[in-house]
Amino acid sequence: MYRYDEFDHQFVRERTAQFRDQADRRLSGALTEDEFRPLRLMNGLYLQLHAYMLRVAIPYGTLSSRQMRQLAYIADKWDRGYGHFTTRQNIQYNWIKLEDTADILAALAEVEMHAIQTSGNCIRNVTTDHWAGAAADEISDPRPVGELLRQWSSLHPEFSYLPRKFKIAVTGAPNDRAAVKVHDIGLRLHKNDAGAIGWEVMVGGGQGRTPMIAVTVRDFLPEKELVAYIEAIMRVYNLYGRRDNKYKARIKILVHEIGAEKFKAEVEAEYARRPEQTTHVEEKELQRIAAYFAPPVFEKLSRFTPAFEEAKLLHPGFARWARNNLAAHRVDGYTIVNISLKPEGGIPGDATAEQMRLMADLAERYSHDELRVSHPQNIILPHVRKDDALAIWQALVPAELATANYGLAGDIIACPGMDYCSLATARSIPISQAISRKFADLDVQEKIGPVKINISGCINACGHHHVGHIGILGLDKKGEEFYQITLGGSSTESASIGSILGPGFAGHEVAGAIEKILTTYVKLRQPGEEFLYAYRRLGPQPFKEALYAAA
């Protein structure tokens, strides 16, 4: 894991002092709200429905036990004993006071964390594959690049007042778990025939009210050129991105309006204009950072471990959990543990301080002191010996953290929606709870198989409904909440935007509608065909009939 050196420490300390001063000036009236808002947003502080909300960055989703414990401490001391893990590898606290915020930032700085640029029209927290460094399919760990970009983008003087927010995601594996194609910039690692690695640079993906899949502007950019090249992209966007209409201000609209070819030409021209610049520093810096991400020392274990197999025979509950929540590790005898933050009827992504501490303890004991926060709002123990999985499961069960639904219908992504968010047009959490209760029977969930249900409480799409296999968007119709269903979205390497199925539903009808969709799928699927592929083969018609025919 990356560790701060004296510069990094000083940087977050000074940044905290700077915010303390800004907050004081706001409270004294020296700063107006209009002047203060961008400053607090760039430190992760929003004003939501009930109070301020603080969004803390978990860079590339990686946490140590100590850091997780500090998050729990903050939840207890300054919030209401819980936090909400988001789809972009952040944690949000919902009951924060402005006057406490600088102290919280100082507590974060103690454990090498911050809330810098988790909001605002700047470069946001860089996200990566949550299985980075552990996944069996990985070419190379993308986190060093994530850290390089975190540093480079932090308080970038040129790119802190962009037309709109800017999100970068990085993946080092062919199976995209970081949703890079729906980011402003997506980076994907490739290895060529000669064994060299290079980055595919994709630009202009995004969700919100105009969802778009990113276009590739470079197929194979040498790693040492990443920073300079991204700087060229940023400059073109900063100069030409629209500022007259905030709904048209994201880079995807620029790419779309001037065309991918013209955009690419602008970027290449800007890149070519850079004065003769060496990349030695970037290369050395990347090497320095990469050393921190050297894999932990794994034991030599055999792939097949009798204790693990026996445990599954002895405990059917464990067997089911192992089947659904463990993923292939690149080292024999090890596994990736996916802890579901989606208990039946629960609030997706929420964890109590106690749960955080338990997960921190387990990570310290069994996972080389490492945890990950995943894009689908779960927590991951990346490096676990298969033989320890039973003990972990046994510890998770009483804490309601052992729900065996990873990747299934109950593993729902949901934004906070109108229960917390001031921009919401409808609630999302109660919809997710209703669906999760409807599919409480894990036998049913397993029979249905992998499916991603994503819910957003407004068109901003923080719940990624556009790229859910089943997407649900909460809207307001004459003062009543109602919900639009889309099918066929995906955020992976074969990304697609879901299409609206038909007229929307009232809140209490949604779970039933989802059930009908999934029943139809089970009836019509071919052996082994997952929901998304069945939908792509069948099209919307059978699902439309199932939902609307009788009405």
Partner 1 sequence: MSEIEKGQVMTANRLRDGEVVFLTRSGEWNERIDEAVLALEPQATAALEARAKDDVKATLVTGPYLFDAERVGGKIRALHMRERIRTLGPTVRLDLGKQAEGTAGAFAFKEA
Partner 2 sequence: MPLLKNNAFIQDSWVHLGAEDPLPEGGNVSIPFSRLKNEWESLAKFPGQLGTLLSNTDHAEDVAHFLPHLALVILPFPAFVDGRAYSIARQIRLLGYRGELRATGNILPDQFQYMAQVGFSSFEVSERFPLEVWQQASKQMSLAYQRGLYRRVGEAEVWSERHEETAPETAPWEEQPHAG
By a kind-dependent CB cut-off of 5 to 8 A, residue 47 interacts, out of partner 1, ligand SF4, partner 2, none, with: partner 1
Among the listed residues 433, 454, 486, 490, the single contact to partner 1 using CB under 8 A:
433
Q: Find the part of the chain contacting partner 2 (CB under 8 A) among 11-19, 306-314, 385-393, 447-455.
A: 11-19
What is the footprint of ligand SF4 within residues 488-517 (CB under 6 A)?
Answer: none
Among the listed residues 3, 6, 7, 29, the single contact to partner 1 using CB under 8 A:
29
By a kind-dependent CB cut-off of 5 to 8 A, residue 52 interacts, out of ligand SF4, partner 1, partner 2, none, with: partner 1
What is the footprint of partner 2 within residues 236-295 (CB under 8 A)?
Answer: 238-239, 243, 273-275, 277-278, 280-282, 284-285, 288
By a kind-dependent CB cut-off of 5 to 8 A, residue 184 interacts, out of partner 2, partner 1, ligand SF4, none, with: none
| Residue 39 makes contact with partner 1 by CB under 8 A | no
| Residue 27 makes contact with partner 1 by CB under 8 A | yes
Among the listed residues 270, 419, 446, 493, the single contact to partner 1 using CB under 8 A:
419
Written as one string, the DSSP assignment of 496-547 is B--EE-SS-EEHHHHHHHHHHHHHHHHHHPPTT--HHHHHHHH-SHHHHHHH
| Residue 266 makes contact with partner 1 by CB under 8 A | no
Q: Find the part of the chain contacting ligand SF4 (CB under 6 A) among 51-59, 298-306, 445-453, 461-469.
A: 461-469
By a kind-dependent CB cut-off of 5 to 8 A, residue 423 interacts, out of ligand SF4, partner 2, partner 1, none, with: ligand SF4
Closer residue to partner 2, CB minimum distance, 30 or 506: 30
Helix residue ranges per DSSP H, 29-85: 33-41, 65-78
Q: Which residues of 6-44 are buried (b: 16+ CB within 10 A; e: fewer)?
A: eebeebbeebbeebeebbeebeeeebeeeebbebbbbbb
What is the footprint of partner 2 within residues 131-190 (CB under 8 A)?
Answer: 151-152, 154-162
Reference 532, options 481, 502, 498; nearest CA is: 498
Distance CA 154, CA 227 (A): 13
Reference 58, options 9, 127, 121, 12; nearest CA is: 127
Task: Tell me the closest approach of the beta carbon of residue 154 to partner 2, in angstroms.
Answer: 6
**DSSP-derived secondary structure letter, 427:** -
By a kind-dependent CB cut-off of 5 to 8 A, residue 70 interacts, out of partner 1, partner 2, ligand SF4, none, with: none
| Residue 22 makes contact with partner 2 by CB under 8 A | yes
| Residue 500 φ then ψ, to 5° | -70, 130
| Residue 457 makes contact with ligand SF4 by CB under 6 A | yes
Among the listed residues 35, 219, 257, 310, the single contact to partner 2 using CB under 8 A:
35
Written as one string, the DSSP assignment of 247-308 is GG-SHHHHHHHH-HHHHHHHHHHHHHHS-S---HHHHHHHHHHHHHTPPP------SS-HHH
- On whether the CB atoms of residues 348 and 375 are closer than 8 A, the answer is no
Number of residues that bind partner 1 (CB under 8 A): 28
| Residue 434 makes contact with partner 1 by CB under 8 A | no
| Residue 257 φ then ψ, to 5° | -70, -40
| Residue 48 makes contact with ligand SF4 by CB under 6 A | no
Cα-Cα-Cα-Cα dihedral of 1, 91, 396, 176, to 10°? -60
| Residue 5 makes contact with partner 2 by CB under 8 A | yes
Distance CA 286, CA 291 (A): 9
Distance CA 506, CA 109 (A): 45
| Residue 484 makes contact with ligand SF4 by CB under 6 A | no
Cα-Cα-Cα-Cα dihedral of 361, 363, 369, 372, to 10°? -130
CA distances from 115 to 57, 91, 104, 106 (A): 5, 10, 10, 10
Task: Tell me the closest approach of the beta carbon of residue 413 to partner 1, in angstroms.
Answer: 16
Closer residue to partner 1, CB minimum distance, 198 or 348: 348
- On whether the CB atoms of residues 197 and 187 are closer than 8 A, the answer is no
Reference 419, options 471, 348, 353; nearest CA is: 348
Closer residue to partner 1, CB minimum distance, 50 or 284: 50
| Residue 415 makes contact with ligand SF4 by CB under 6 A | yes
| Residue 430 makes contact with partner 1 by CB under 8 A | yes
Task: Tell me the closest approach of the beta carbon of residue 183 to partner 2, in angstroms.
Answer: 21
Q: Which residues contact 279 (CB under 8 A, 6 or more apart)?
A: 224, 225, 227, 228
Closer residue to partner 2, CB minimum distance, 181 or 235: 235
| Residue 216 makes contact with partner 2 by CB under 8 A | no
Q: Find the part of the chain contacting partner 1 (CB under 8 A) among 165-173, 388-396, 418-426, 519-527.
A: 418-426
Q: Which residues contact 364 (CB under 8 A, 6 or more apart)?
A: 65
Reference 349, options 421, 401, 397, 404; nearest CA is: 401
Measured at the CA of 30, the angle between CA 27 and CA 36, to 5 degrees, comes to 70
What is the footprint of partner 1 within residues 309-368 (CB under 8 A)?
Answer: 347
Closer residue to partner 2, CB minimum distance, 287 or 519: 287
What is the footprint of ligand SF4 within residues 427-456 (CB under 6 A)?
Answer: 456
Helix residue ranges per DSSP H, 294-412: 306-314, 316-325, 353-366, 389-396
β-strand 197-203 against 334-339: which pairing, if any? unpaired
Query: In the complex, which residues of this chain contact partner 2 (CB under 8 A)?
Result: 5, 7-8, 10-11, 14-15, 18, 21-22, 31, 35, 38-39, 121, 151-152, 154-162, 235, 238-239, 243, 273-275, 277-278, 280-282, 284-285, 288
Query: In the complex, which residues of this chain contact ligand SF4 (CB under 6 A)?
Result: 415-417, 421, 423-424, 456-458, 460-463
